[in-house]
Amino acid sequence: MDCKEIYLHRRCPTSSNAMKLAKYLTVVFLLTFISPTTTFSQFDRLLFNKIDVETGLSQNMITSIFQDYLGFIWIGTDDGLNRYDGYNVKVYRNNKSDSSSISDNWIVQLIEDKAKNLWVLTHQGVNKFDRRNDSFIRYTFNKNDTNSIQSNTMQRGFVDSRGELWFSNVKGFVKYNYETNSFTRYGKSNTESYKQDSLHTYFVEDSKGTIWVTSSYGVSSINTHTNHYKYYPIIKDKSAMVTGFNIDNNDEVWVHINRECELFKYDKLTDEFNQILIALRQKQTIYESYSKIIFGLDDTFWYSNSTGLIKYNKNTGELTNFNGIDAPKMSNDILIIDHKLFMATNYGLYTFDTLTNKFQKYIKNDFDQYGLSENQLVSLYTDNKGDIWIRSNRGGVNKIVNPLFKPIRGISTFLNSKKIYTIYKDREDNIWFTTLQDGLNMLNAKTGEIEHFIPSKNNPYSIQSGFLSLIYQDKYGVYWVGSRDKGIRTLDLKTKRFNKVVGTTPSLDNHATRSFLEDSEGTLWIGTRGGGLNKYNRLKQKFETVLYDTDSPLKNQIITIFEDSKKNFWLGTDAGLILFNRKNLKMEIVQFYAKESGPMGSNSIFGIHEDKNNVLWLTTYGGGLISFNPINKATKIYTESDGLLNNYVYNITVDDSGYFWLNTHKGLSRFNPSTQKFINFTKEDGLPSNELNADGAIKYKNGMLIFGSANGAFFFDPLKISNNEDYNIAFTSFRKFNNQTKLVPDITVADEIILDYNDYVFSIEYAALEYNEPNRVRYAYRLEGFEGKWNFVGTKREATYTNLDPGTYHFHVIASNGIDEWKYNSGKKIKIIIQPAWWQTWWFKFFVLLIIVSSIRLIVHFRIRNVKKIEAAKVEEQQKSFIAIEKTRKKEEEKRIASERSLKETISQNLHDGVLTELASIPIKCTVLLSDKTPNSDKKKIVSTIGNIADSVNRLVREEMWFLNYKNESSQNLIKRFEYFIGNILEDISYKLNINDDAFDSPYLTMNIKQQIFLIYKEVLHNIYKHSKAKNVEAKVYRNNNTITMSITDDGVGFDTSISTSGNGLQNIQKRSTKINGEITLSSRPGKGTSFTLIVRLVNIASE
């Protein structure tokens, strides 16, 4: 008998792997074993997920598997280290130019210490993973440092019960000192035999804290209290090797060598290992594979050899061999969980049920998506949830999974078609599957294998149609098989013959069989598509057409037949629900949709179910789910608007909890009739397809539900549709502007992320670290401080934000299995701080505020000072203005006085030159008039002259009075004065007078100036009248800005200006012009008339 390695992890209490495994070690009872022939159950079959290079692994040659405290799965290979989160793989490899990379790509082992540091053993030293920096700290051999490891070729690592960290290498083993970050060496050439014993395989610790270490030919012990070390040679002649090692429940140390099944047990009294010979012996080479031994709690242990599985009682020495065709031939690793053994071998995975003594073998199958990736399996590992991971030699990692929806398959066979139409369970619990093209399949309840029945032209007893609509077993055990195009056959399961049924009707032969029902009276009823309702008369052994209506073709579409608890007979048809009286053949039709209101086919009843309250539940082809009370006709319709996944519903399958499971065109709906709530399942939840087929649904005897789809059949346990789990969510990646960004600390352990103001586009990736069915996990997230509502993103595992304002936010992500309500207080959070730009920082704002306040103070200060200056300037200006005003007033007063003086002078001059001159001659003339010597004729002339003088004086005085009257200051009155005067003087001469309306509208034009201009005008006209003999006179007066121009032209006799320019009239004109700073231009020639121009510049007058 082949005797192989004995080792287990049960005595490694601080190893997380060992501790989790220890939870599952239970009592293996000593049973009376029989040959393992127990029937295999389809529903216990293991399924596997593969993680390999196509998933992202660096290599398929797996050396180690480990789950860290965060929940990540680490996978070591011959070419790199891999971190797996259930979706993606991150690879770590050696980089010769980066000393913070891992020291070697050949990974030996992975362990975690008491400080939760991950240690990676390689062929080039040991590495501590620096999670903060996502890098590695290397520890390698240094010949000048006795506190370094003895060799870079590492073998095993171990954490004892006190949290001390131990490593073995080809030259010894060491203990890590956390305080000094160095190593203490053990096993340093204390014996010659030890020098040649370099393979240190495993560490085990007993209850007293002694560390036991196996090597090739012996065992070493270290007393952790005294640090005393001792080496025990087991095989001195090197004819064999130590291949097994363990400590049992009584603290006894066992050593197993691969020579003639020898066992050694440590004797505490003699301090040596004594050999124990077991009953069976068989020669073997020392190079064969190991066989791990598992100790039970009942003084037994298990291991395997080339003869099968062995159970050994270490107290009685009794050995039981479980062999046979199903038994494994040598196991590389053995694991026990509950009452089941798992054995990794070079020929696949074996399980053994210790209660039923049943083996099951799992091997690679390229056609099985849930099969093993290869048969050569090296070791088994249990994660923190107790799930099993399998390390293969060259096929990557296989994980045993338990998906919600599992595919139907046999032990070594499969359904021959994925297009499953109907499913049926017979009286022997065999499960039958009809297909759309490939005939009939039967899953044998006893053998666990699937048998195929396919059409064959060469076999008249084969099934004649590939498209079978249904199969039914009556109470006599006869199998009735209906097809779509070949009528009805019966099946003899023993002979595998399909026999044509005699006595069929044309309606059966020419129409698809749609439903069978054997009623309470034993009558077999058959519904057809278009052929109406038929029944089988067993006495006459022929079929009879019972219902066929040529006037109503829809009634002939019998989809389902149902007999309720009160023996009422119901037909589901395309015309609606029909209550059929089997005695008088009368029927009552119930329709739930009017033809014009319901969708096409909405009255087509596909399935009928009666609940405990005798209410009928109906499934329809487009009309949803309908509840109908046959007594009071109460009806309620449930459609997509009520939460139903799809209105095209085929069947109702009721589970043990009373839930309705509805297969539809778009997936599976679970309906709770008590709460009237729906929960829906689709391909995203693990269904093989959203298209579930007509009669493809049954409940099996163990409560399992089985459904058919367009992509195969599947089953599930409805009781295991659990509520939401508390998923262990981790942040796995961070990107800026869609580029991977390394954070310190790394995103996996960071509590907060600090971003620059210009990092305005960033993404966070997350994962639930769910390894069973990660694709079923749904996610929701929100950025607290930015958004109040949750983003429900389905299976998406990334969130991206852009253009956030500076501030502090909290990114919160939660996960759900999609079955129950979300747990908003669960999940994972990380703080995100977006730093403001320098101009948005508090110190800059404070600095700006300080500048503003200071500036305001300065502005206020300068403003006040400026205001004071302005006020002082205003005062000074007011004073100056007052002085100027006073000066102006005085100047105006002086001008007024001067004007008055000028006016007085003018009046005086005018009176002197005009009135007094005229009046001066009156006394002389009066003297002459009074003289007696004056003749009477002369007296008359004198009196007349005096009268003329009086008139002249009167005119002069009136003119003076006109200019003294303020009412005549307006320009229009002056213009009228000009017009009036020229008309009176030039009464016999043709004249033109043109005076602009605004000629005299200037503030600088005083009444005195106006009077002087008028008097000059008057004087010129007098001279023309007296001397020019002119026939035409033209006078103009106009103003251009502050200049007044007056021109008078005549066509008279003219004169020589060089001779006659000194007359009294011209002299008066010159004097008057000078008073108003006027300029006179006189142009005249004898016989050519005279032109007179006066220009008065008012500015000059104003400045004076």
Residues 268 and 212: their CA atoms lie apart, in Å, by: 14
pTM for this entry = 0.73
DSSP per-residue letters across 241-273: -EEEEEE-TTS-EEEEESSTTEEEEEETTTTEE
| Residues of the chain falling short of pLDDT 70 | 1-42, 187-198, 259-261, 277-293, 296-298, 305-307, 325, 595-601, 723-724, 889, 892-925, 927-933, 939, 948-969, 1060-1064, 1099-1104
Residues 663 and 707: their CA atoms lie apart, in Å, by: 8
Residues 1097 and 1076: their CA atoms lie apart, in Å, by: 9
Q: For residue 308, which amino acid is it?
A: G
Residue-level pLDDT at 133: 97
420-720 in CATH: which number?
Answer: 2.130.10.10
Residues 727 and 822: their CA atoms lie apart, in Å, by: 12
970-1104 and 16-403 share a CATH fold: no
Residue-level pLDDT at 697: 93
Residue-level pLDDT at 74: 99
Q: Which distant-in-sequence residues (6+ apart) come within 8 Å of 239 by Cβ?
A: 259, 286
Range 444-448, long-range pairs (CB < 8 A, 24+ positions) = 444/410, 445/39, 446/39, 447/39, 447/40, 447/410, 447/411, 448/39, 448/40, 448/41, 448/42, 448/45, 448/410, 448/411
Is residue 781 within 8 Å of residue 794, measured between CB atoms? no
Instruction: For domain 970-1104, give the fold.
Output: Heat Shock Protein 90 (3.30.565)
Is residue 925 within 8 Å of residue 942, measured between CB atoms? yes
Cα separations (Å) of 342 from 2, 331, 360, 562, 948? 19, 10, 10, 47, 162
DSSP per-residue letters across 598-644: SPTTTT-EEEEEE-TTS-EEEEEBSS-EEEE-TTT--EEEE-GGGT-
Which of 602, 657, 610, 648 lies closest to 629 in space, CA to CA?
Answer: 610
Q: Which distant-in-sequence residues (6+ apart) come within 8 Å of 781 by Cβ?
A: 766, 790, 791, 793, 799, 811, 812, 813, 814
Residues 311 and 291: their CA atoms lie apart, in Å, by: 13
Residue-level pLDDT at 368: 86
Residues 223 and 1035: their CA atoms lie apart, in Å, by: 145
Judged by DSSP in three states, 932 sits in: coil
Is residue 443 within 8 Å of residue 452, measured between CB atoms? no
Residue 1091's CB is within 10 A of a number of other CB atoms, namely 16
**Helix, strand, coil content of the chain in percent (nearest 5):** 20, 35, 45
Residue-level pLDDT at 211: 92
- Give the helix ranges, DSSP H, for 911-970: 917-930, 936-964
Judged by DSSP in three states, 8 sits in: coil
Indicate if the alpha-carbon torsion angle 958, 963, 964, 969 is positive or negative: positive
Mean pLDDT, the chain, whole residue set = 84
Residues 384 and 71: their CA atoms lie apart, in Å, by: 8
Range 359-365, long-range pairs (CB < 8 A, 24+ positions) = 359/36, 359/309, 359/322, 359/324, 359/326, 359/327, 359/328, 360/40, 360/44, 360/45, 360/46, 360/326, 360/411, 361/326, 361/328, 362/46, 362/48, 364/395, 365/412
Residue-level pLDDT at 948: 66
Is residue 659 within 8 Å of residue 668, measured between CB atoms? no
For residue 180, the number of C-alpha atoms closer than 13 Å in the C-beta half-sphere is 8
Indicate if the alpha-carbon torsion angle 1053, 1058, 1064, 1069 is positive or negative: positive
DSSP secondary structure letter of residue 982: H
Domain ranges of the chain: 16-403, 420-720, 730-840, 841-964, 970-1104
730-840 in CATH: which number?
Answer: 2.60.40.10
Q: What is the per-residue pLDDT across 362-376, written as a single tens digit (0 to 9) for each?
A: 999 888 889 999 999
16-403 in CATH: which number?
Answer: 2.130.10.10
Residue-level pLDDT at 505: 81
Residue-level pLDDT at 5: 33
